Amino acid sequence: MKKEMQVAALENGTAIDHIPPAHLFKVASLLGLDKMDNTITIGNNFHSSKMGFKGVIKIADKFFREDEINRIALIAPNIVLNIIRDYEVSEKKTVTLPDSLTGVIKCNNSKCITNNEPMPTRFDVINKETGTVRCHYCERKINKEDIIIQ
Ligand SMILES: [Zn+2]
């Protein structure tokens, strides 16, 4: 019930729940929160019955597009987005791994053009179940456990 109260404090906007604490600030950065003028509340290490501890982010008057939120699917696959309208949860959204990720993953091939030119990386997700991705430029395949988020 306490969680519902925290979520209800937002009049309109998005409350992101169940963020792994270790990835909270990475999630904030991937969502571009550092460049927003919206009112943002960030809380970390809340007790969670599901995952032990969790982070929560609330953004007033912001409703994300699918491609914006799917950027975080790799580091926070079990995240829940509560869409708040008039103080009530009007919709709950989960994230899904998109077909490709731009500017999210660092290529682990030091000779790759993306490590030598000022340009965003681009990876195609070649297996959504295992989370395996392939660099669009050098075709290096990277398994989920070896992925480095930029
Ligand atoms: Zn590459």
User: pLDDT per position in the chain (150 positions), as tens?
Assistant: 455 545 447 999 999 999 999 999 999 999 999 999 999 999 999 999 988 999 999 999 999 998 889 889 888 888 999 999 999 999 999 998 999 999 999 999 999 999 999 999 999 999 988 889 999 999 999 998 899 888
- Within the chain, which residue ranges are assigned CATH 2.30.30.20? 100-149
The burial of 70, by beta-carbon neighbours within 10 Å (0-12 exposed, 13-18 middle, 19 or more buried), is given as: middle
User: With DSSP H G I counted as helix, E B as strand and the rest as coil, what are the percentages for the chain, rounded to 5?
Assistant: 20, 40, 40
**pTM, two decimal places:** 0.79
Token couple for 139: 């075709």
Among 78, 65, 64, 74, smallest CA distance to 98 is for: 74
* 93: nearest Cα among 72, 129, 66: 66
Q: Please check whether the domain covering 100-149 is classified as CATH 1.20.58.1290.
A: no
CATH 3.30.70.140 domain range(s) in the chain: 13-94
Topology of domain 13-94, per CATH?
Alpha-Beta Plaits (3.30.70)
Which string of b and e fits 17-35 if b means at least 16 CB within 10 Å? bbbbeebbbbbbebbebee
Ligand 1: centre distance to CA 73 (Å) = 20
Question: Which protein residues have their CB within 5 A of the ion that is ligand 1?
Answer: 107, 109, 112, 135, 137-138, 140
The answer to whether 15 and 55 have CB atoms below 8 angstroms apart is: no
Rounded to whole angstroms, the Cα distance separating 4 from 117 reads 46
Distances (CA, A) of 33 to 43, 66, 146: 14, 16, 26
Q: 27: CA distance to ligand 1 center in Å?
A: 23
Q: What pLDDT score was predicted for residue 8? A: 47
CA of 116 to the centre of ligand 1 (A): 10
